[in-house]
Structure 1
Amino acid sequence: MLEALPEKGVPGEQILAELSELRSADLPTHGGRLFAYVYDPALDGLDELARQAHAISAHVNGLDPTAFPSLLAMENALVGAAARLLNGDGGTVGSVTSGGTESLILAVKAARDSRPELATPRLVVPSTAHAAFAKAAHYLRVALDVVPVGADLRADPAATRQMIGEDTVLVAASAPSYAHGVVDPIPELAAIAAERGVRFHVDACFGGWVLPYLRRLGADLPAFDLAVPGVTSISVDLHKYAYAPKGVSVLLHRDEALRLPQYFAYAGWPGYTMINPIVSSTRSGGPIAAALATLRHIGDAGYLELAARTRDAVATLAEAVNQTDGIRLFAPPETSVVCLAAEGVDLFVLADELAARGWHTQPQMAYGEMPATIHLTVTAAVAGTATDFAPDLAEAVAAARSKGPADLPAPLLEAAAALTPELVTPELIAGLAEGLGLGGGDFTRMAAVNSLLNVAPPALREALLTGFLSLLQRPAANGRQDQAAAAPNSVTE
């Protein structure tokens, strides 16, 4: 039982021991066997350096940079580093945010607020764009126009051109897309947006810090950054392939005029005038200091070496997929992602079998004509474990083939077929969780759950997962909370 507010204070040593015990239930953040959520460079001493840097600035408040000029200096240094890496010039400006989602929300806000005369501003994205764009559209009341991608999984320039209208305030694309790891044709898309007088954002949150280094290593990747005419903004997460602790991202604009609508300012109350470049007001300087320490410690040459290790690990994993009957590469492994599909085996059972062998992957549901896939985010740490993956993958495929598809009781399938989002209630979710074996908080075998979600229409899947997450995020009635592991894989994605 975990109690946050005991009657009497608890000794620090006991608290730290309790926190360590809680962490023991989590997936491993280091070791090169978790292919989602975390980014591990496998560099000795980096974690401790980041912790110490975080502690120095943990209580610094980013609300007022004139009160804490140290934080202003650090933020400007991070923005400058990102601008240089992504080919900005002397006019490039930017902001440090809490993560990729906030960066994308702000890119959409800046575009929306640059056209205040529009009653219904619109955002055009490919169907492979990150879900954070949909979140931004929802929060900001911007209409979302989704363009189907081509057979190559990349944004379609011709279809994008047709979708842009008089009310379009922003066109966006990915470098690379998260799901498949492929880079959209940024130069063609940016030229179309510029021709129509529309802002164009490159979502490089996922790979923006590794793509420049992969290109320097000889990877045949298209131009994607601020060197491309027509690109007006770009985002890159430092807590991904810059290997900084979470959560730090950078949003860059080509010039100051493009950034100004991003700000929020309000003086219509008797307190201080609120001026914020990002969504939050008060924010800790800890993550920013940790990010700066990480970048300075690794350095440009270090990032080039980490990118080389990542490239080699991707090649090793991709070859393992190619050499294993029953699975195939679904997308070309051209960046830092290996995405595979199953042929003749149940993909979700395969994911469970890999997890049983210590490889934690990210199953992705079917979408349109795209089949369900398994996503592997590959980091530099995987270079040390990649050669172990092939035999375990072959074993996992054989085990999945032997077990057959996940067992979903016919009554459950029939009930699910009759469900609509409006019928999803807390009571129904609790019953489903119990029936699928999730009542005790064991999330190690998820094939049946993922199979059910895979056949559910997107709106129903959203309702089911929202209900399940709400079920998890409840304190006990007596104010005490039992230890519970976070739901892995697709349960909260």
Structure 2
Amino acid sequence: MIEGLPAEGVPAERVLAELRGLREADLPTHGGRLFAYVYDPDIAGLDELARAAYAISAHVNGLDPTAFPSLLAMENALVAAAGRLLGAGPGTAAPAMAGSVTSGGTESLLLAVKAARDAATTDAPRIVVPSTAHAAFAKAAHYLRVGLDVVPAGDDLRADVAATAERIGPDTVLVAGSAPSYAHGVVDPIPELAALAAERGVRFHVDACFGGWVLPYLRRLGADLPPFGFDVPGVTSISVDLHKYAYAPKGVSVLLHRDASLRLPQFFAYADWPGYTMVNPVVSSTRSGGPIAAALATLRHIGDDGYLALAAKTRDAVGVLAAAVQATAGVRLFAPPETTVVCLATEPDVDPFVLADELAARGWHTQPQLAYGKLPPTLHLTVTAAVSGTAAEFAPGLAEAVAATRARGPVPLPPELARAAGALTPEQVTPELIEGLAAGLGLGDGATGPMAAVNSLLDAAPPALREALLAGFLSLLQRPAW
């Protein structure tokens, strides 16, 4: 147990040693075997450069750009870089593009919704998104008290334009599409959706948080992907995360608007108090300049040619992994591997959650995705440039994991847990119940190790109960050790 506030100060080297010790329990952030959460370009010296840049601006405060013009210059450089990549700037269809640097994709999406809500005249604003849209839209709707209309995606896992048209009403303030969707890695029909939104006089946001920095390079390499940037008429805003395929440290995202007037409702300003007038373009007031400096250093070090090469390595790795899935009996590609995602499903005799554990036991860390509507559970693999060095090893590992999964069979849930999944309501989930469930699943005080039983329980529960169970479990984890 680490004591947060010891009676006497601890020497610096011991503090660092303790932190390194804690990190030993984490999944590997480098090495091309973790297919979620982190983005690794496998560039020697990049981590050290980012850390040094972070240190230079760690104590700079983004609250007032007139006090710290260095941070203003960095933010403007990042926004300009993202804008140029996504079809804005002099001589383009969006010469007056404006943007802001945020802490991540969720904040970017929240602010896109806020700008649309605050610009509207309706008293009951609503947003229309496909069922494959990122959950951050639901979070934004919840936080901002905006109605959420979810349109089922088509059989091809893409947004259904006709169904979207039916859901747009007089209170709709924003329509959104993904480039690509996170779960399956497919790109929505952005030109058609944007044209529909423009026809109805509604803002249209492209959630390119996940792939916005890599798709332009994949298109330059010949990938058959639809346009999704400001070159598409009707696109009014785009979000792109730099801590994903721009390979910057977390957390830096950019929210772009076609022009400054569209961005203005994003701001929050308040002068009716005795202190300084608060004016914030993003959610936070005080912001460290560290992540922004690290992001700028990363972009400048890699450069346009470097990102093109990284995209090529990623594309090739996706091809190798997809071929491994296609060559392995018992698993299949669930979605076309057209971007940077390999999404696989399993045959009935291969439990997907046991397979995830078996892959993890062999050093391959995937992200299980639970069943949703008519969609079965799947395994999600986010592929980065670093995977190009390990992709060839995946096929034998997958074959071994599938064979081991077949031999083990599904993880049987204890009868009382199975009954609970079918009978509980969200309102019945209490801290005491969560502690009992955690003990019954053998989780103890943590969430490391095999997770097939946990995922099987969650998969058997309806979405509202899943939410309550996971919120309760996270609450169980996030408590002080006295």
Deviation at 1:415, TM superposition (A): 2.5
Q: CA deviation at 1:126?
A: 0.1
Which residue number in structure 2 is paired with residue 447 of structure 1? Answer: 452
Q: Distance in 2 between matches of 1:92 and 1:457?
A: 42
Q: What is the alpha-carbon distance in structure 1 between the residues aligned to residue 33 and residue 428 of structure 2?
A: 39
Aligned partner of residue 311 in structure 1, secondary structure: helix
Per-residue deviation, 1:416: 2.3
RMSD value over aligned CA atoms?
A: 0.6
Q: Residues 78-477 of structure 1 correspond to what in structure 2 (within 5 A)? A: 78-89=78-89, 90-115=95-120, 117-343=121-347, 344-441=349-446, 443-476=448-481
1:444 deviates by 1.1
CA deviation digits over 1:140-166, x for unaligned, max 9?
000000000000000000000110000
Q: Does the alignment pair 1:37 with 2:40?
A: no
- Runs (4 or more) in structure 1 with deviation over 4 Å come to none
**Can you list the C-alpha shifts for 1:389-425, whole angstroms capped at 9, x where unaligned?**
0000000000000100111122221122110000000
C-alpha displacement of 1:440: 4.1
Question: In structure 2, how many angstroms separate the alpha carbons of the residues matched to 1:359 and 1:226?
Answer: 37
Question: For 2:445 and 2:409, how far apart are their aligned partners in 1?
Answer: 25
**Partner Cα separation in structure 2 for residue 260 and residue 412 of structure 1:** 51
Consecutive unaligned residues of structure 1, counting only runs of 5 or more, are: 479-493
Q: Provide Cα deviations, 1:448-470, integer angstroms capped at 9, x if missing partner.
A: 11001001000000000000000
Return the letter of the residue paired with 1:471.
Answer: L
2:9 and 2:452 mapped to 1: Cα distance?
43
Question: 1:429 & 1:61 partners in 2: Cα distance?
Answer: 40
Q: Which amino acid aligns with 1:87?
A: G
CA contact (8 A) 2:356 2:379 kept: yes
Corresponding letter in the other structure for 2:368 = P
Q: Which residue does 1:56 correspond to in 2?
A: 56
Q: 2:144 & 2:335 partners in 1: Cα distance? A: 33
- 1:481 is matched with none
Q: Partner residue of 1:19?
A: 19
Amino acid at match of 2:194: A
The whole-number CA distance in structure 2 between the counterparts of 1:185 and 1:37 is 26
Summarize deviations over 1:455-491 as a string: whole Å, max 9, x none.
1000000000000000000002x3xxxxxxxxxxxxx
CA distance in 2, matches of 1:104, 1:134: 10
SS of residue matched to 1:240: coil
Q: SS of 1:169's equivalent?
A: strand
- State the TM-score, normalizing by the size of structure 2: 0.98
Whole-angstrom CA distance in 2 between matches of 1:171 and 1:271:
38
Assess if the C-alpha contact under 8 Å between 2:445 and 2:477 holds in 1.
Answer: no
- Per-residue Cα deviation, 1:350-385 (whole angstroms, up to 9, x for no partner): 000000000000000000000000000000000000
Q: For 1:405, what is the secondary structure of its paired residue?
A: coil
Shift of 1:442: 5.1
Q: What is the aligned partner in structure 1 of residue 92 from structure 2?
A: none
Deviation string, structure 1 residues 200-224 (Cα, Å, up to 9, x no partner): 0000000000000000000000011
Query: In 2, distance between residues paired with 1:442 and 1:375?
Result: 19
Please give the alpha-carbon distance, in whole angstroms, between the structure 1 residues aligned to 2:419 and 2:192.
Answer: 47
**1:300 counterpart letter in structure 2:** D
Encode CA deviations 1:69-92: one digit per residue, 9 max, x unaligned. 000000000000000000013201
Q: Which runs of 5+ in 2 are unaligned?
A: 90-94
CA distance in 2, matches of 1:304, 1:443: 36
Q: Distance in 1 between matches of 2:239 and 2:259?
A: 14
Comparing 408-417 with 177-186, greater Cα deviation is found at 408-417
| Residue of structure 2 in register with 1:491 after alignment | none
Identity of aligned residues (%): 80
Q: Provide the C-alpha distance between the structure 2 equivalents of 1:218 and 1:322, rounded to a whole number of angstroms.
A: 23
The question of whether the paired residues in 1 share the 8 Å contact of 2:421 and 2:460 is answered with: no
How many residue pairs align between the two structures? 476
